[in-house]
């Protein structure tokens, strides 16, 4: 029987994950089916139980179930534990193993696809919700010199920063109006782009050498990307991160790492 996987979300119809995993499977010669499962808002656990009963090998989890996925896992990998959220479930030997590939996907996109090293760099992270939390450990593992976390609600940033104090990297929380100096990398991990808004980051945060990355993606650049580009920064949306987090999940499940380069160009067009 062909191994079965899916992405669980609500909504889920827009998800590009089935296309991405089908392309990885074709490229690596792996036999698998990857579909979509819409879960009712109060029915995530039932869907997971149903998948396990049907012999599925794993699932990706998207909005709004990443926290519930961490709760339902019988075992959590370190990066899922640090993120407090799960986007990749593996059903193995009666266990539900939770992992989080979002942060590693972002790091892979910045370092491999954009060709920007994080070691020794100054990073400004905008937002302190689930998306921001998920990238903290993968960022710290790259040894940046500083991570400044700016959030509208200061208390959330303080809590996040307290959870990720580090020996090598200076990790601090600020209000948007207290952002000082410029940064090598600015990551928008707020959900402001969904409302066509941008967090109030000052122009002085960007230079011509800054990489500005929005975790969101769409047909057009986000307001954050347009603002950063106006200051001379190089910009990137979250599409590369999406493909890389999928590649990381595929590697966990199949033990084979797909090459993301051709997909990154073909899927964009």
* Alpha-carbon gap, residue 107 to 202, rounded angstroms: 24
* Alpha-carbon gap, residue 138 to 101, rounded angstroms: 10
Residues 68-97 binding ligand ATR (CB under 6 A) are none
Say whether residue 153 binds ligand ATR (CB under 6 A). Answer: yes
Say whether residue 151 binds ligand ATR (CB under 6 A). Answer: yes
* Alpha-carbon gap, residue 162 to 168, rounded angstroms: 15
Q: How far is the CB of 194 from ligand ATR (least distance, A)?
A: 8
Closest CA to 187 of 153, 247, 138: 138
Known catalytic membership, residue 66: yes
Host H or E run for residue 200: none
Q: How far is the CB of 64 from ligand ATR (least distance, A)?
A: 8
Number of residues that bind ligand ATR (CB under 6 A): 16
User: Candidates 39-47, 71-79, 164-172, 185-193 — which segment interacts with ligand ATR by CB under 6 A?
Assistant: 185-193
Q: Which of 66, 121, 155, 230 is catalytic?
A: 66
* Alpha-carbon gap, residue 20 to 70, rounded angstroms: 24
The answer to whether the peptide bond before residue 162 is cis (omega within 30 degrees of 0) is no
User: Candidates 16-24, 149-157, 164-172, 178-186 — which segment interacts with ligand ATR by CB under 6 A?
Assistant: 149-157
User: Candidates 39-47, 73-81, 152-160, 204-212 — which segment interacts with ligand ATR by CB under 6 A?
Assistant: 152-160
DSSP state of 112: I
Q: How far is the CB of 197 from ligand ATR (least distance, A)?
A: 4
What is the maximum alpha-carbon separation in the chain?
57
Say whether residue 128 binds ligand ATR (CB under 6 A). Answer: yes
202 φ/ψ angles, rounded to the nearest 5 degrees: -75, 150
Q: Toward ligand ATR, which CB reaches closer, 192 or 243?
A: 192
Say whether residue 113 binds ligand ATR (CB under 6 A). Answer: no
Q: How far is the CB of 19 from ligand ATR (least distance, A)?
A: 22
Say whether residue 192 binds ligand ATR (CB under 6 A). Answer: yes
Q: Are 87 and 100 in contact (CB under 8 A)?
A: yes
Q: Are 213 and 118 in contact (CB under 8 A)?
A: no
Q: Which residues are catalytic?
A: 66
Per CB under 6 A, residues contacting ligand ATR are 127-132, 151-153, 156, 190-192, 195, 197, 199
């Amino acid at each position: 029987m062909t191994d079965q996987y899916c992405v669980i979300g609500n909504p889920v119809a827009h998800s590009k994950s089935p296309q991405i995993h089908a392309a990885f499977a074709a490229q690596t010669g792996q036999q698998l089916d990857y579909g979509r499962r819409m879960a009712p808002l109060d029915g995530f656990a039932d869907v997971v139980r149903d998948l396990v009963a049907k012999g599925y090998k794993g699932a990706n989890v998207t909005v709004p179930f990443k926290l519930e996925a961490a709760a339902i896992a019988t075992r959590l990998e370190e990066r899922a534990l640090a993120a407090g959220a799960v986007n990749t479930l593996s059903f193995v030997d009666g266990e539900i193993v939770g992992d989080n590939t979002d942060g590693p996907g972002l790091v892979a996109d910045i370092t491999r696809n954009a060709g920007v090293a994080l070691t020794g760099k100054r990073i400004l992270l905008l937002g302190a919700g689930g998306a921001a939390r998920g990238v903290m450990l993968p960022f710290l593992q790259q040894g940046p010199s500083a991570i400044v976390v700016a959030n509208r609600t200061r208390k959330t940033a303080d809590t996040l920063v307290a959870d990720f104090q580090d020996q090598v990297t200076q990790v601090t929380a600020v209000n948007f109006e207290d952002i000082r100096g410029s940064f090598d990398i600015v990551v928008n991990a707020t959900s402001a782009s969904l409302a066509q808004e941008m967090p109030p980051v000052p122009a002085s945060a960007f230079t011509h050498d800054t990489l500005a990355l929005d975790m969101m993606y769409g047909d057009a650049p986000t307001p954050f990307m347009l603002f950063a580009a106006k200051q001379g920064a190089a910009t990137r949306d979250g599409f590369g991160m999406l493909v890389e987090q999928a590649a990381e999940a595929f590697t966990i499940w199949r033990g084979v790492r797909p090459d993301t380069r051709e997909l990154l160009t073909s899927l964009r067009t």
